[in-house]
Structure 1
Amino acid sequence: MEEKKEHMLDYDSILEQARDLAGLIANSEEVARFKQAEQKINANETVQQLIAEIKQKQKRIVTLEHNRKDEQIPALEREIDALQDELDQIPIVVEFRQSQAEMNELLQMVTGAIANKVSEHIIVSTGGDPLYSEAGRKNG
């Protein structure tokens, strides 16, 4: 009986395949929608003003914490929450967050598919049963 030899890829080949996959992902509909939504966010004066106000208040909190003036922090946190709520009601922000979630979902699906395929390959190559996620065991 001739032993079955598997095609082995070296480190550079794997990285090249990963770069190709990254290129496919970068050219996906999800990434295109994300980039369009990001451009809209960046071009919207109201959104940018709200983001700047939130950041300014966050910096103020850090300064207050550093100077141990904690009594002013809760009021600033409430102001930040109100600004964040206002930001979250803007349709292009909703669109941006949705596109971000879709892109993250795509990346998680790809990562999961790779992890599952590698695990399955290890299980099968050790004589195990992929249906039960059990690797084979050497007797003796």
Structure 2
Amino acid sequence: MAIAAEIGMGAILAAADELGEMIRRSEECRAYWRAREKMEHNAAAQRLFDELKKKTNGLWTLRDRLGASHDKYLRMKQEVDALWERLYEIPVALQYKAAQDELNALVQEVIEVVLAQLGDTLPVERGPRTCGSGGCSGGCGGSCHASAGA
């Protein structure tokens, strides 16, 4: 593949800025912010979400300290799963989760397209799949929780 003209870093960064702005103006982004605003105005959902964040952080600590097969970790994981179930009983929480997943999918697809374009000409390493990249093992308690079957 021959490159017709050399493009400087400034032009590439300007194109990245434009791409970022396109994502910010996308329907997926607008839907995310609408859903987030509804979520923020639902006191019950916010309480559950705050509790879920605290429990999830504790879950990570237990997993790192004791391992994923320890009884304390497994009990706390059940508590976290129960909180997710309660949160998903609230319609605005489901809408928020769906909007968050859609926006994340858009960003991940853009990243995959860029990586695919570079893969033929550069030794691009995709790196580890982490929470938020579609490769979550379910341990984050975040947006990839439901898709991981945890």
Q: If the length of structure 1 is used for normalisation, what is the TM-score?
A: 0.65
Q: How far is 1:31 from its partner?
A: 0.3
Query: Structure 2 vs 1, CA of residues 109 and 6 (structure 1 numbering), >3 Å: closer, same or farther?
Result: same
CA distance in 2, matches of 1:28, 1:108: 14
CA distance in 2, matches of 1:119, 1:60: 39
Counterpart amino acid of residue 87 in structure 1: L
* Whole-angstrom distance in 2 between the partners of 1:113 and 1:11: 19
Instruction: Determine if the alignment matches structure 1 residue 22 to structure 2 residue 35.
Output: no
Q: Output the CA distance in 2 between the equivalents of 1:94 and 1:118.
A: 36
Structure 2, gaps ≥5 residues long: 123-150
Query: In structure 1, how many angstroms separate the alpha carbons of the residues matched to 2:109 and 2:57?
Result: 36
CA deviation after TM superposition for structure 1 residue 90, in Å: 1.4
For residues 37 and 9 of structure 1, the distance between their equivalents in structure 2, rounded to whole angstroms, comes to 39
1:38-117 paired onto structure 2 within 5 Å = 38-57=36-55, 76-117=76-117
Identical-residue share of aligned pairs (%): 25
Name the TM-score, length of structure 2 as normaliser. Answer: 0.61
Q: 1:107 to 1:46 in 2, by over 3 A?
A: same
Higher gyration radius (CA) = 1
Give the alignment partner of residue 8 of structure 1, picking from 3, 6, 11.
6
Partners of 2:86 and 2:74 in 1: CA distance: 18
Aligned residue pairs total: 115
- Give me the whole-angstrom Cα distance separating, in 2, the residues matched to 1:58 and 1:51: 10
The C-alpha deviation readout for 1:83-131, integer Å capped at 9, x for no partner, is 22110221111111111111111112212222233345x49xxxxxxxx
AA partner of residue 31 (structure 2): R
In 2, Cα distance between the equivalents of 1:104 and 1:56? 23
| 1:88–1:116 Cα change, 3 Å | same
Residue type matched to 1:84 in 2? W
- Between the aligned partners of 1:108 and 1:71, the Cα distance in structure 2 is 35
Larger helix fraction of residues = 1
Structure 2 Cα separation of the partners of residues 78 and 5 of structure 1: 55
| 1:90 alignment partner AA | I
What's the C-alpha RMSD, in Å, of the aligned pairs?
3.1
